[in-house]
Amino acid sequence: MHEYSVVSSLIEICEENAFKNKAFKIERIVVGIGERSGMDKSLFLSAFETFREESQLCKDAILDIIEEKIELECKECGYKFIPKEIEYGLCKQCGSKNLKITKGREMNLLSLEMIGENQDEG
Ligand SMILES: [Zn+2]
């Protein structure tokens, strides 16, 4: 399943970040999942439940999923907008059909909360 490979690499990214920040525990992971990413939120969560067991750093982490709306950019005039309907139609500014999807097709790591050894300093 697609979700499993995405979650697997998500955990790798989290571990790398924790390592760079000398953190020993990740408390919260916030990801944005695009509405057109083709990923199922509940599958994503159950994949996370499976993978975090194998990760010392992520074991107790909370996963927050934010669903990201799709965003389009017009290739003709550069206008960016969020379409109201599933069918994107035309650029609202110049009427061009030459649109590309700039957001909402992937999974993004938005933020990480972690506990590091320097946490209590200062
Ligand atoms: Zn345009």
**114 CA to centre of ligand 1 in angstroms:** 42
Between the CA of 112 and the centroid of ligand 1 the distance, in Å, is: 36
Question: What's the 78 CA to ligand 1 centre distance in angstroms?
Answer: 6
Cα-to-centroid distance, 99 and ligand 1 (Å): 8
Kindly list the domain boundaries of the chain, sorted by start residue: 2-69+104-116
Burial class (CB in 10 A: 0-12, 13-18, 19+), 72: buried
6 vs 103: CA distance, rounded Å = 17
- Which pLDDT value is given to residue 122? 44
Report how far ligand 1's centroid is from the alpha carbon of 43 (Å): 37
pLDDT value at residue 45: 95
Residue type, 81: F
For every residue of 36-93, DSSP letters joined together read TS---HHHHHHHHHHHHTT-TTTTT-EEEEEEEPPEEEETTT--EE--SSSS--S-TT
pLDDT of residue 120: 54
Q: What is the mean pLDDT of each run of 10 residues along the chain (122 residues)?
A: 90 95 95 92 94 94 94 95 78 92 91 81 46
Domain 2-69+104-116: which topology? hypothetical protein PF0899 fold (3.30.2320)
